[in-house]
Structure 1
């Protein structure tokens, strides 16, 4: 994409809609996606960070007035600068808190959509992380009311913990503090931006009430987001320069600002994970398109988006599509590889096995949460049907071509039979020599396929009655003729047995290939799920550490 386009727009009735052009772009992306969304109050410089991640100076509109430029959610897809065969999807959201909108719930849904779609959520704010800043981030306290993990939690599921479930599926959280003007110190010692954030999120029982907005926000950030990171940016340039921010180069900006901006981009590139659903299920661009549609449809119908329902929708839509595309791939590959008729069944079998293996890979790549292998069984059934049709086509093409050659090669013999040339003494010997010569010429023909001998045998069987009539006039070679027929019948029986044995082998190889590729995919998904659990456990350990008594945090002004 050379420039961003709108993914989710604002409808005339105040709701949300999905833009078809953006869906078409996502639908073409079969690679895993790393989705980075930025949220925050309007006119805080969110779009600048997104442009920087895209490696561009312009793209998302920056604006230079108090008016909010971005409406809805805009999307920019670019190749990931570090992860090969991954796409970086940047989502710039409408500024929160715009008084002109007058609909607070609209802001909440924009915030929820950013959380649901992203693998890294960047919150952009001005000044410092203080009580006022935390109050403005109150949207995070309402996530449990506007997002469900399970559509219908089981009543006997005693281990179900909604906060842990949210932590497993929510994105990493990055707080970007803009125009930061304080010294990062604690008890007279320098601290990092991350330590600044974590100390700001600590609850102070003596100075705050558990139910006040600031405490809820702190607790929600700790409970929902397992991975948290902070960057503090000083003011990039003077107010006069900032009016033309889109035209400024790094040389026009403050060195410390540029350094922090580069560190921010480096962190996102290196640490933002590909988008996944529950259980570590990877998401591609086309799956992201389905997620956006599913969530917006739920919101538009007055329902609360459910992660489980989204997984079910993804599975139904993308597994059916994966089967179709795998079959289409198989057909196209066989059309390119097979030249009918093949000389042997083994040749067709080998081409089938190679194409089938790649088709299964296409399905495995695009399938989603096919736990009971329902769709893989559908694929197997359809592949068997496709191969069966190709076997029939191969046989028919070979028969047609062989019969045409029979008509041409044995044409002179047929003409002499019509004229009665062989119905005289010694005619049977001449008939057999003519027949043998025609058979030899036929066997020299190339590319007749696997049914060439069967067609020849059928023709010779048919002509055996004619030979019997000629033999009535000349019985000198009747014994030789019988031996030829016996040998032909034996050869035909052996070839038929080999043919069906090969079909059985093909089906067995096909089954083994399905199992092999499925086991590889399940192992990858188990590893991703294990990583999620370890990440969540690490966050819980950190939370336990933070709950121990510590010195109060203080921030000192410069000078």
Structure 2
């Protein structure tokens, strides 16, 4: 098992979501396995649009490859379902670029409008940047073909439950917060970028095309699409591409190099790719929650299962599923890492508790990092507390094993070193005049030999104390039997014997005290490490959330001004209420949220007491 960030570079795309025979969707197992290996943040770029408009070519350019997603040179749509290509991000270190090429919309052979809607919805739900590809110009016809965007709110829920019968959470502002950035790429563009006789940019061309048009019922239909694009996508961008080559050459696009293509087309294609690399953000969910490859796999599975069961995909349900699946897995992988690393690093018994503690601190820090990296939406730190409990248990078992190994080894050395002394005792050698002095000399020599032994570990004094205490009665018997000593001398030796036993016991108690103190220090360091890493993650998520809110507010303010200009004052007032709610949330986040983190693990800081009781009882 690999515990570090895994970089995936696929040699070719594979199917992520396939079509079933009955017109449904199914997630492909092979793609799930690939995403499951990606623990890095992912930048997800999905392309949608009518079939045979050159979507796949743009995806191949982003993958920096000549071939990959099938281009096709006939009227038949080549891509079915959603295909995926994962490559290392060209500019963002430790990020993976996930490219999603979707089935062409409006395929006459397919004739399934609902299927197209679900393909479009899946692209929106999974991506951080959505590229809509079309041919010709952005006119009424093009807007009519983008009618899928007007159906997003019917087919995507942000929150599964309701309040007073109303889904107050599912507002256009909330959709804007979670929807990807939107790029409209116009292919085979032959017009001049001019408006009222003045040159304009491609972005200005798009925004002008999205202005609401008063009038007949057809305009109302088109206006709904315009409104949805403006209300759902905070970041909008446009690129216009002239025809890449003549028709004959385009029959073999996969074999053409840049030298074979029109210079302006190549220039715009490079600008498009550069913009995607620099400006497409990593995939996040509401509140700045970062998404990794394996999380993306769970999202895809969750959404497809909802669609397959006839339900509307809910982001709230997806977050709930991700929270349980991802955090449980993060705990397991962090604990497995800790266990395997400690087994490799620890050589039992360690000479001191400090030695084991130092190893524990290093490995625990890495284990916490693995959990923090992979954890998701652990709002009350329920899962992180469970991680700490399990790591404490693992460490406690290692401490006990270390102690038992030291005791075991020390006892075996005691048996060997004091063996000759025991042999003499069994023969009654010291039960004679002068025998006490001889016994004490032999005992002291054996003690010194024992203390010179290396690698006995941290319980050597305890084992020695237990042995000497056991032999104190034998020593007293030998002393009482030694008739060469006067009564006064015997009393002096008796007092010394008592002092020796007490002294050795004190050494053992000091040894135990050192272990206890070190375990307390370990817990304090562990607590600080958990809090520190949690703070860093929450700071990152909070910053992303603030950026998300500010980006939405900026876009909403711009849209509000546009609505007033277009004469839609009532809509402007509705938007103002949503913006006020956003500002309240923004203000709350700006106040900070670290007040209670420091105490979040205090309820399990009694490990040393529990551990010590189990070890020394």
1:220-243 per-residue CA deviation (whole Å, 9 max, x = no partner) reads 101111110000000000111011
The residue that corresponds to 2:182 in the other structure is 173
1:519 paired with 2:535, answer: yes
The residue that corresponds to 1:328 in the other structure is 336
1:462-497 per-residue CA deviation (whole Å, 9 max, x = no partner) reads 122222222222255444333321211222222223
Instruction: Say which of 401, 405, 412 aligns to 1:397.
Output: 405
Instruction: Say which of 424, 427, 436 aligns to 1:419.
Output: 427
Any idea what SS the aligned residue of 1:449 has?
coil
Any idea what SS the aligned residue of 2:515 has?
helix
Instruction: Say which of 217, 223, 235 aligns to 1:215.
Output: 223
Equivalences for 1:142-221 in 2 at 5 Å?
Answer: 142-155=151-164, 160=169, 162-205=171-214, 207-209=215-217, 212-221=220-229
Cα distance in 2, alignment partners of residues 215 and 407 from structure 1: 93
Any idea what SS the aligned residue of 1:77 has?
strand
1:436 paired with 2:444, answer: yes
Instruction: Say which of 46, 69, 85 aligns to 1:76.
Output: 85
The residue that corresponds to 1:264 in the other structure is 272
1:128 paired with 2:137, answer: yes
How far apart are 1:116 and its partner, in Å? 0.2
* Structure 2, gaps ≥5 residues long: 1-9, 567-617
Asked if the contact 1:210–1:216 (Cα under 8 Å) also holds between the matched residues in 2, the reply is: no
Asked if the contact 2:459–2:511 (Cα under 8 Å) also holds between the matched residues in 1, the reply is: no
Cα distance in 1, alignment partners of residues 305 and 169 from structure 2: 27
* Structure 1, gaps ≥5 residues long: 551-559
1:500 paired with 2:516, answer: yes
How far apart are 1:157 and its partner, in Å? 8.6
Asked if the contact 1:209–1:215 (Cα under 8 Å) also holds between the matched residues in 2, the reply is: no
Asked if the contact 2:158–2:169 (Cα under 8 Å) also holds between the matched residues in 1, the reply is: no
Asked if the contact 2:189–2:240 (Cα under 8 Å) also holds between the matched residues in 1, the reply is: yes
The residue that corresponds to 1:43 in the other structure is 52
Cα distance in 2, alignment partners of residues 466 and 208 from structure 1: 113
Equivalences for 1:290-369 in 2 at 5 Å?
Answer: 290-369=298-377
Any idea what SS the aligned residue of 2:249 has?
helix
Cα distance in 1, alignment partners of residues 285 and 162 from structure 2: 17
How far apart are 1:213 and its partner, in Å? 2.5
1:121-141 per-residue CA deviation (whole Å, 9 max, x = no partner) reads 000111111111110111001
Instruction: Say which of 16, 21, 29 aligns to 1:7.
Output: 16
Any idea what SS the aligned residue of 1:34 has?
strand
The residue that corresponds to 2:610 in the other structure is none
How far apart are 1:537 and its partner, in Å? 1.2
Cα distance in 1, alignment partners of residues 456 and 104 from structure 2: 71
Asked if the contact 1:37–1:93 (Cα under 8 Å) also holds between the matched residues in 2, the reply is: yes
The residue that corresponds to 2:393 in the other structure is 385
User: So what's the TM-score if we normalise by structure 1?
Assistant: 0.95
How far apart are 1:210 and its partner, in Å? 8.1
Instruction: Say which of 55, 76, 85 aligns to 2:64.
Output: 55
Asked if the contact 2:462–2:505 (Cα under 8 Å) also holds between the matched residues in 1, the reply is: no
Instruction: Say which of 109, 116, 138 aligns to 1:107.
Output: 116
How far apart are 1:510 and its partner, in Å? 1.8
Cα distance in 2, alignment partners of residues 124 and 365 from structure 1: 35
Asked if the contact 2:173–2:556 (Cα under 8 Å) also holds between the matched residues in 1, the reply is: no
Asked if the contact 1:208–1:215 (Cα under 8 Å) also holds between the matched residues in 2, the reply is: no
How far apart are 1:208 and its partner, in Å? 4.4
How far apart are 1:272 and its partner, in Å? 0.3
How far apart are 1:524 and its partner, in Å? 1.1
How far apart are 1:59 and its partner, in Å? 0.5
Say how many residue pairs are matched: 549
Answer 1 or 2: higher relative contact order, Cα 8 Å, separation at least 6.
1
Any idea what SS the aligned residue of 2:287 has?
helix
The residue that corresponds to 2:4 in the other structure is none
1:150-198 per-residue CA deviation (whole Å, 9 max, x = no partner) reads 1113339997461001000000000010000101101111100001000
Structure 1 residues 333 and 48: alpha-carbon distance in aligned structure 2, compared to 1, 3 A threshold: same
Cα distance in 2, alignment partners of residues 310 and 338 from structure 1: 41
How far apart are 1:34 and its partner, in Å? 0.1
Any idea what SS the aligned residue of 2:111 has?
coil
